[in-house]
């Protein structure tokens, strides 16, 4: 249970990192002729959690809208931080569980 919480949070952090990389690429190439905007969709992972699917999307005549990209960057940052908080909570729960066990029942990392 605790390991699945940590795993799910980790997958969310990785997905948000992929989203940030795509947005950074969009911003860096906003004035590059022929650049195709990258968009990220979040999908459920096969074993739980989430995965980022990056696809190219024609930005049309208007090019890259920096306001949209910066809003997306803020959303990705908040999503990353939320997943980080969940991961830290899961790790704290694990620590509490390990400290509640008798020393003979703990694995070698907790001795």
For residue 99, give both structure tokens: 């400290």
Q: Is the pTM of this model over 0.85?
A: no
Report d(CA 64, CA 35) in Å as an integer.
Answer: 9
Contact 86, 7 (CB under 8 A): no
The pLDDT tens digits along the chain (111 residues) read 677 888 899 999 999 999 999 999 999 999 998 889 999 999 998 878 899 999 998 756 667 899 999 999 999 999 999 999 999 998 888 888 877 876 666 666 555
DSSP class per residue in 60-110:
-TT---HHHHHHHHHHHHHHHHHHHHHHHHHHHHHHHHHHHS-GGGS-GGG
Structure tokens that stand for 100 in this block: 């509640």
């Amino acid at each position: 249970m605790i390991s699945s919480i940590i795993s799910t949070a980790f997958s969310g952090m990785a997905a948000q990192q992929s989203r940030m990389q795509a947005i950074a690429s969009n911003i860096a190439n906003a004035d590059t002729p022929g650049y195709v905007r990258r968009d990220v969709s979040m999908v459920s992972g096969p074993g739980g959690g989430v995965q980022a699917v990056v696809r190219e999307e024609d930005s049309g005549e208007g090019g890259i809208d920096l306001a949209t990209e910066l809003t997306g960057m803020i959303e990705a940052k908040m999503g990353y931080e939320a997943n980080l908080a969940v991961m830290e909570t899961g790790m704290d729960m694990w620590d509490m569980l390990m400290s509640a066990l008798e020393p003979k029942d703990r694995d070698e990392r907790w001795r």
